[in-house]
Amino acid sequence: MTGASVLGVFAHPDDESLSAGGLLARASAAGARTAVVTATWSRNSIRAPELAEAVRILGAGEPRMLGYADALVPESAPGSPRLLDAPLDEVVGRLVAHIRAFRPDVVVTHDAYGGMTGHPDHLHTYRVTVLAAEAAGLEKLYPEAGAPWQPRALYLATHPDSVVPALRAAIGARRAVYSVPDEQVTDRLDVTPWLEQKVAAVLAHRSEIDRGAVPGLVAALPPEARGAMLATEWYIRCSPGPATTAGA
């Protein structure tokens, strides 16, 4: 992924920082173009300026918000449907437009579990992104969304089974933790050089700190525990678009 332009697609403000903040900061520091699409919460919500600060810290430009409502917080986008209730074809088409406009080499999103928590918005964002990453390269799909563009790869932010005990020790027991077999992980990224940026981006989501969500857990941790929780990122590499010849 070194030197590749990166488009992150995540469900909520703060997911970009928690799931791929190190990757985004590293890519930006290397001079690559980076950006983030956030599926839920509206531009006039309390979380929009927090997201703007977080992506600025990570070097990912201005927020790109689809503006759907959070599945569990309907007031997050008054007058808009929940992401889960919006027509799938509509959501995919809107994301295709962002992919074609930004023209990333790499798209990053949640894994098939929707990350460790399995939040329904995370899971649906995964589904939408997988469809959009392939559709963006097909000229007869969504012609109104711009000229076709095929990302080279889709990466799914994940956690291997082997790290779950350490994460539980850092953040305490949670109701559910979803992880994948270690052999499914294709990329392990040490983001220690960008850890300070990543933590600052997480802590920019102040309303989440106030309500005791994951950024609040990060805020309460001592520095060494923050490192244990956030200094490594894991990804599963997928390749949208036409298959290459076996062995190529």
Residue-wise pLDDT for 22-40, tens only, equals: 999 999 999 999 999 999 9
φ/ψ of residue 16, rounded to 5? -60, -40
Burial 130-164 (b: 16+ CB within 10 A, else e): bbbbbbbbeeebbeebeebebbebbbbbbbbeebe
The domain that contains 217 carries what CATH number? 3.40.50.10320
Asked, for residue 246, whether it belongs to a domain, the answer is no
* Total domains, the chain: 1
Asked, for residue 1, whether it belongs to a domain, the answer is no
- Alpha-carbon distance of 191 to 27, in angstroms, equals 11
Q: What is the pTM of this model?
A: 0.94
Q: What is the mean pLDDT of residues 171-182?
A: 80
Asked, for residue 128, whether it belongs to a domain, the answer is yes
pLDDT band at 1 (very low <50, low <70, confident <90, very high): low
At 38-87, the pLDDT tens digits run: 999 999 999 999 999 999 999 999 999 999 999 999 999 999 999 999 99
pLDDT band at 242 (very low <50, low <70, confident <90, very high): low
Residue range of the domain that includes 111: 6-238
pLDDT of residue 167: 82
pLDDT band at 246 (very low <50, low <70, confident <90, very high): very low
